[in-house]
Amino acid sequence: MSAPVAAGAAEALDAETFGLLLDTIRTFVRDRLIPAEAEVDATDHVPAALVTEMRELGLYGLTIPTAYGGIGLNVEQSVRAFLALCYAAPVFRSIVGINNGLASWALVHLGTPAQRARYLPPLASGELVGAFCLTEPDSGSDAGALTASARRDGDHYVLNGTKRYITNAPEAGVFLVFARTDPATRDARGVSAFLVDRDTPGLHVGPPERKMGQKGAHLSDVMFDDCRVPAGALLGPEHRGFAIAMQALDRGRLHIAAMCVALAERLIDESVRYAMERVQFGKPIGEHQLVQAMLADSRAEAYAARCMVLDAAVRADQGERVSVEASCAKMFASEMVGRVADRAVQVHGGAGYIAPCVAERLYRDVRIFRLYEGTTQIQQLIIAREMLRAHGRHG
């Protein structure tokens, strides 16, 4: 099975307009999102007014082509936009992120004209929220082992099965669902992708899960019980859905890496501010060399991750396949922000363990990055497998 389409972006925003967009995002983050963070964490709810503002700024459609009402950023620009946006708590990226990547990537690259015309404009505006349904109760890291089925029945498919931990499912209006269309297979072959509207009979959304962090972003199970969809709901070629999911994840992993970098930079700024305010042994703790060592380690690691994600993004824009670079960036950046968050709590001392300290909240928020869109161990597997394959090819 080979990749269904080549990676690479067709469109980009001109430099001046892009600069204005970045300035607008930074101002929005500073004036609107950061002041709302504590309330969102306490209430597990993002105020409707903020969601409306995110829509009006175009944040749901950053990567969707302008022909469909999006902003049409290329990969590097989208990474830079997330580096700016994700200086605020990651709940806000979670709300707009699926529309910008996992739910829209395959539509943009493989959708029929009718599918694009129907779904991309409302996804770009945020009127429609998308969800990406790959994971199942018994199929997480081994995504190719999924058992949800889609049986052909005349000019319909009938879906059955359960999808687990589906981000934005409680709010979603369309679900990109991966299901097995060839019952003779048990692995990555024989899986197809479907666009399923929320109001389709037989589709049920479970209650939101209680999570460790990222309060305000919701996920739940999605169940399919003899859920009939028209044959036109098939996205991309039949039995080629797994490669579609993997390509969407390649792009998603770059965005996760960018988010990790931005949050590390925020945690470092919070740490430096506290280190200059807090006085112990007669001077600000930032003047103690053991505290300086923690700050310096965090700064160097965040810088390394920033360079990685930008390099991978530029390569993607040049048409290179960046599966390995995306996995490297996601793995390094997510592990890095875990260490940075841990040091940020350490710099804050006891105060770092007590709400409403920003370090305490972000420490909880960033833990998911080493798990979702492929655990660190799955990224290692992807990277090492490609190294061994390349060795086999070139001797």
Residue with Cβ nearer ligand COS (143 or 259): 143
Longest dimension (CA), the chain: 80
Which residues have C-beta within 8 Å of that of residue 257, sequence separation ≥ 6?
Answer: 305, 308, 309, 312, 326, 329, 330, 332, 333, 334
CA separation for the pair 263, 339 (Å, rounded): 12
Kindly state the smallest distance separating residue 49's Cβ from ligand COS, in Å: 29
- The answer to whether the bond into 122 is cis (omega within 30° of 0) is no
Which residues have C-beta within 8 Å of that of residue 153, sequence separation ≥ 6?
Answer: 228
Catalytic-labelled residue, pool 320, 335, 373, 386: 373
The DSSP string of 207-246 is PPPP-SS-TT--EEEEEEEEEEEEGGGEESSTTBHHHHHH
Residue with Cβ nearer ligand COS (5 or 38): 5
Please tell me whether residue 205 binds ligand COS under the rule CB under 6 A: no
Please tell me whether residue 50 binds ligand COS under the rule CB under 6 A: no
Among 171, 265, 360, 373, binds ligand COS (CB under 6 A): 373
Please tell me whether residue 377 binds ligand COS under the rule CB under 6 A: no
Please tell me whether residue 27 binds ligand COS under the rule CB under 6 A: no
CB atoms near residue 326 (< 10 Å): 31
Residue with Cβ nearer ligand COS (138 or 187): 187
Among 66, 112, 141, 292, binds ligand COS (CB under 6 A): 141
Please tell me whether residue 217 binds ligand COS under the rule CB under 6 A: no
Strand runs labelled E in 202-338 = 203-205, 219-230, 234-235, 279-280, 283-284
Please tell me whether residue 188 binds ligand COS under the rule CB under 6 A: yes
Residue with Cβ nearer ligand COS (37 or 373): 373
Q: Among the candidate windows 87-95, 139-147, 206-214, 287-295, which touches ligand COS by CB under 6 A? A: 139-147
Please tell me whether residue 2 binds ligand COS under the rule CB under 6 A: yes
Kindly state the smallest distance separating residue 130's Cβ from ligand COS, in Å: 13
Residue with Cβ nearer ligand COS (17 or 141): 141
CB 85 within 8 A of CB 78: no
Does 373 participate in catalysis according to the annotation?
yes
First vs last Cα of the chain: how many Å apart?
23
Please tell me whether residue 135 binds ligand COS under the rule CB under 6 A: yes
CA separation for the pair 133, 131 (Å, rounded): 6
Please tell me whether residue 382 binds ligand COS under the rule CB under 6 A: yes
Per-residue contact string for residues 225-264; x = within reach of ligand COS by CB under 6 A: -----------------xx--xx-xx--------------
Please name which of 251, 265, 272, 363 lies closest in space to residue 315, comparing C-alpha atoms. 251
Kindly determine how many residues on this chain lie close enough to bind ligand COS according to the rule CB under 6 A.
25
Residues 310 to 339 in contact with ligand COS, rule: CB under 6 A: 323
Among 284, 303, 372, 383, binds ligand COS (CB under 6 A): 372
Give CA angle at 350 (348, 351), nearest 5°: 60
CA separation for the pair 19, 55 (Å, rounded): 19
Kindly state the smallest distance separating residue 108's Cβ from ligand COS, in Å: 16
Kindly state the smallest distance separating residue 134's Cβ from ligand COS, in Å: 5
* Burial track 287-304 (b if 16+ CB lie within 10 A, e otherwise): eeeebeebbeebbebbee
Kindly state the smallest distance separating residue 4's Cβ from ligand COS, in Å: 8
* Amino acid type, 54: M
- The residues of the shown chain that bind ligand COS, judged by CB under 6 A, are 1-3, 132, 134-135, 141-144, 187-188, 242-243, 246-247, 249-250, 323, 372-374, 378, 381-382
Where in the sequence numbering do the catalytic residues fall?
Answer: 373
